[in-house]
A and B are shown apart, each in its own frame.
Chain A
Amino acid sequence: MQNEEIIKKINGFLVEEFEIEEEQIVPEANLMQTLDLDSLDLVDLVVIIENNFGFKVKGEDFAGIKTFQDFYDYIINRINQN
């Protein structure tokens, strides 16, 4: 899967699941704040990633993810590792 496709897929499920507008997703924007994520939502984010990409995110991985770009990079990196 190309990086652009991956990002499109990620944005797609973020908009669908967390009920935000596509326009709110800006690569430099803060992921947690824009999506208004609390600790329970992070549980669901792990589930959605596993359902869509087939790998498990560990809780501690979220520490390094601040922006949407960080999130894309993390997912792309994990896909390439597998």
Chain B
Amino acid sequence: MNRVVITGMGIYSTIGKNLDEVRDSLYYGKSGIGFDQERKDFGYRSGLTGVLDRPVLKGILDRRARIGLAEQGEYAYISTIEALKNAKLDQDYLDRNEVGILFGNDSCAEPVIKAIDILREKKDTTLVGSGSIFQSMNSTVTMNLSVIFKLKGINLTISGACASGSHAIGLGYLLIKQGLQDCIICGGAQEINLYSMGSFDGLSAFSICESEPTKASRPFDRDRDGLVPSGGAATVIIESYESAKRRGAPILGEIIGYGFSSNGDHISVPNVEGPVRALKKSLVDAGIKASEIDYINAHATSTPVGDSNEASAINTLFGESKPFVSSTKSMTGHEMWMAGASEIIYSMLMMKDSFIAPNINFENPDEFSAKLNIASKTVNANIDTFLSNSFGFGGTNSSLIVKKIK
């Protein structure tokens, strides 16, 4: 079995367009959430959203490369460029070696809607344009990036709702561990446009704390009233330890455990038992005790039931050791298909600079979160080992454990 290490990271997020900006936002507890009047005019119950500019890729990518990229593909291109640079992987290496790509993505609303709008107007499919199909498929990110970077390894998209990005890294870890691939570009990407969030808003799942957008996302807080949708992309390059050493790659950390489970329960309301199993599985896979986890980056999305159930799950296994816990979704909002991957990056940045990013807006606990050691302000503390949770609709659960390499 191979050891699996992280050799590069890149991010395009509502709290920063690169690792340095994100690191500062995390340390200073800066929110990336705002209010969008267009959503209200469109019929949304909540106008709250993560705020992110679309990058301008004209001049950076040629037309054929750009034309198949949907919104989240553009974000994923930027985050992957940063990750490849940090991992010291150039095009020559990608040409000569089998490098794979596994990204989490679970929707592609905008391109489909735009194509149908054209069809309704023009009644002619040949006027939809050649890029449409490549933007519209769930696998749009991996499909396009594998062509842009001329990748030769494993090539597919993982759809597991809000655990997509985490499962993508987990499955990459399993492939490398088994020696089936040396190096995989993993990640998660999420569209943030208003076409993509309508039906979710229709569940009344979003916060309506619109008067103070930066205070709306309040995971674990007694007065939380729902999540805030967000997006962007995050890339985490993982590799076998031998491959990393062989090519002199920077080794940022080691993935030592991946735990997964399904709840077999309600489609949208998480339970406690399913996440407990995923957490346990990750600890068993890592071969460590719960007390060895220094920090848990919680999934906690600021929903009334979800956060309490996760608090109970965490308390079941970590009630004695009480590691620091925070949910970075307090700052970023819920990055959905991107979250599992971005939250690994946020935790890695914390581990590197020895701090726990705050769970901002945590002012009053409820009876469940009161039992956790939640960092409501930034804490300067060493992290040797962290655990990151991601849970999704359908009861899909993923827990990843990463250790510092000394």
Contacts and interface: CB of A to CB of B under 8 A. Distances in A.
Contact of B64 (A41, A46, A47, A50): A41
Interface stretch (B9-17, B126-134, B368-376): B126-134
A41 B124 CA distance: 17
Interface string A16-28: 0111000000000
B62 interface: yes
B64 A40 contact: yes
B67 A44 contact: yes
B130 A43 contact: yes
Contact of B129 (A18, A19, A38, A43): A43
A50 B122 CA distance: 10
Contacts of A50: 122, 127
A11 B63 CA distance: 17
A19 B61 CA distance: 11
Contacts, number: 27
Interface in B103-152: 122, 124, 126-131
Interface residues of B, number: 12
Contacts of B131: 44
A43 B64 contact: no
A73 to B, nearest CB: 22
Chief secondary structure at chain A's binding surface:
helix
A9 interface: no
A36 to B, nearest CB: 9
B127 A41 contact: no
A42 to B, nearest CB: 8
B63 A17 contact: yes
B397 to A, nearest CB: 40
A56 interface: yes
Nearest to B126: A46
Contacts of B129: 43-44, 47
Interface string A29-52: 000000000101101101100100
Given A44-B67, A56-B124, A19 B130 contact: no
B136 to A, nearest CB: 15
Nearest to A42: B130
A46 B62 contact: no
A56 B124 CA distance: 10
Interface of A: 17-19, 38, 40-41, 43-44, 46-47, 50, 56
Interface of B: 62-64, 67, 122, 124, 126-131
Given A46-B126, A47-B129, 18 more contacts: A17-B63, A18-B63, A19-B62, A38-B64, A40-B64, A41-B64, A41-B130, A43-B126, A43-B129, A43-B130, A44-B67, A44-B130, A46-B127, A47-B126, A47-B127, A47-B128, A56-B126, A56-B127
23 contacts: A18-B63, A19-B62, A19-B63, A38-B64, A41-B64, A41-B130, A43-B126, A43-B129, A43-B130, A44-B67, A44-B129, A44-B130, A44-B131, A46-B126, A46-B127, A47-B127, A47-B128, A47-B129, A50-B122, A50-B127, A56-B124, A56-B126, A56-B127
